[in-house]
Amino acid sequence: MNPVMELGDYLWMTFAAFLTLATFSFLYKDNPLYKIAEHLVVGVSAGYFVIILYYGSLKTQLVEKLYDGQMVYLIPLILGVLMWTRFSKKLAWVSRYPIAIYIGIATGLAIPLEMQTKVTEQLQAMMVELHWGNLFDGGLLNYTNSFASLIIIIGSLAALIYFYFSKEHKGWFGGVATVGIWTLMLGFGASFGFTVMARISLLINRVQFLDQWRITSVGSAHQEGSGSYTAVYILILVGIFGLLAFDLIRTKGKTDTDLT
């Protein structure tokens, strides 16, 4: 990213920074600035999709081919237009024809590959030779040794048994199911740990963007004025955080309970 940019681009970037802060203001409470941002993004996103859909799909896949005289493309065109009968109460049933074709094709396409990737290949991956002699080859935490394979086999089967509700989880069956739920919990824990990192990443990205905006502002200003830009940036941040803290102390006791 270039710290010195054209004025027009800089103004756009400043607008983006403003929208970022406007969206953050929701954390304090819902307010008109946030609502504006929220409604704007819905519209812009849908408008973007219209353009992408037309120039990306419709134009090249259908319109051009019809212009070229490939009249067989009238068939998908007609079937597609039939979708719009949904708007009529009387004719809505006609839209079932194209929907049925789509569902038939999508389902037929998916069935064998769902079976292959999610079931048979997963079973295949568990059919490994176990070396009982050196179970812990490469150390306890080596996840390619026979011990790891054994844990994966036991864990997967036990977790599958946990999901089997047609037999009561009692006796040996209940014992295996318990191993299954322990395995699942470790899996969910790993997912949660990853999720925390994911959410924080989103926040860090916005901080990086605002800092980039600060650097750009400094770069666009005169050399001698650059220090004061950074000072203003810090002052704004401290001001926002300070005001929030002050307000939280002031309204002590009135905790908000609308969300956790």
Partner 1 sequence: MSNNSNKGFFDRVMLLDRRWVFLVLAVVVVSTYYIPMNVPVPASREVQTIFDAIEGLEEGQKILLAIDYDPNALAELHPMTYVIMEQCFRKKVGVIITSLSQNGPGMAEQAILDIVDSTALPKTYNGVSYPGREIVNGVDYAFLGYRAYFELVITGMGQNFRTFFSRDYYDVLLDSLPIMKDVQNYDDIEMVIDISGSNVVDAWIKYAAARYDVKLALGLTGVMTADYYPYLGSGRVFGLMGGLLGAAEYERLADNPGLAMDGMKVQVWAHLTIIAFIIIANIGYFGSHKKRGL
Partner 2 sequence: MKRQIPLALVFIFGWLMLALYFIPLEGAQKVNENMLDWTSIIGIFALALGIWSLITVNLDRIKHKKRDWQYSFITLFGLFGMIIFGLKFGGENSMFQGQESYMFRHFFNDILIPIYSTMFSLLAFFIASAAYRAFRARSALASILLIGAIIVMIRFFPFVAEYTRPVADWILNVPNLAAKRAIWMGVGLGIVATGLKVILGIERAYMGRD
Q: Which residues bind partner 1 (CB under 8 A)?
A: 1, 27-28, 45, 48-49, 52-53, 55-57, 60-61, 64, 105-106, 109-110, 113-114, 116-117, 121-122, 124-125, 152, 187, 190-191, 194-208, 211, 237, 241, 244-245, 248, 255-256, 259-260
Quick note: the x/- pattern for partner 2 over 105-144, rule CB under 8 A, is xxxxxxxxxxx-xxx--xx-xx--------------x-x-
Q: Is 175 in the site for partner 2 (CB under 8 A)?
A: no
DSSP 56: I
Encoded tokens for 195:
């999720």
Among 136, 140, 152, 163, smallest CA distance to 186 is for 152
DSSP 46: H
Helix spans in the chain (H): 7-24, 32-51, 64-67, 74-82, 96-114, 121-126, 146-162, 171-220, 226-250
- Can you tell me the distance from the alpha carbon of 231 to that of 237, in angstroms, rounded to the nearest whole number? 10
The CB density around residue 180, as the number of other CB atoms within 10 Å, is: 22
Minimum CB distance to partner 2, residue 224 (Å): 29
Q: Is 154 in the site for partner 2 (CB under 8 A)?
A: yes
Q: Is 84 in the site for partner 2 (CB under 8 A)?
A: yes
Query: Cβ(185)–Cβ(177) under 8 Å?
Result: no
Rg of the chain over all Cα atoms, to the nearest angstrom: 29
Is the Cβ of residue 14 or residue 117 nearer to partner 1 in the bound state? 117
- Can you tell me the distance from the alpha carbon of 148 to that of 152, in angstroms, rounded to the nearest whole number? 6
Note the Cα 232 to chain centre separation in Å: 35
- Can you tell me the distance from the alpha carbon of 131 to that of 144, in angstroms, rounded to the nearest whole number? 12
103 binds, among partner 2, partner 1, none (CB under 5 to 8 A by kind): partner 2
Is the Cβ of residue 88 or residue 208 nearer to partner 1 in the bound state? 208
**Residue choice 17, 176, 217, 229 for contact with partner 2 (CB under 8 A):** 17
Query: Cβ(132)–Cβ(145) under 8 Å?
Result: no
186 binds, among partner 1, partner 2, none (CB under 5 to 8 A by kind): partner 2
Minimum CB distance to partner 1, residue 222 (Å): 24
Could you say which residues in the range 184-223 bind partner 2, by CB under 8 A? 184-197, 199-200, 202-203, 205-206, 209
166 binds, among partner 1, partner 2, none (CB under 5 to 8 A by kind): none
Maximum distance among all alpha carbons in the chain?
A: 79
Is the Cβ of residue 112 or residue 227 nearer to partner 2 in the bound state? 112
Minimum CB distance to partner 2, residue 69 (Å): 17
Is the Cβ of residue 74 or residue 231 nearer to partner 2 in the bound state? 74
Could you say which residues in the range 29-68 bind partner 2, by CB under 8 A? 35-53, 55, 57-58, 61-62
- Can you tell me the distance from the alpha carbon of 8 to that of 216, in angstroms, rounded to the nearest whole number? 13
Minimum CB distance to partner 1, residue 160 (Å): 13
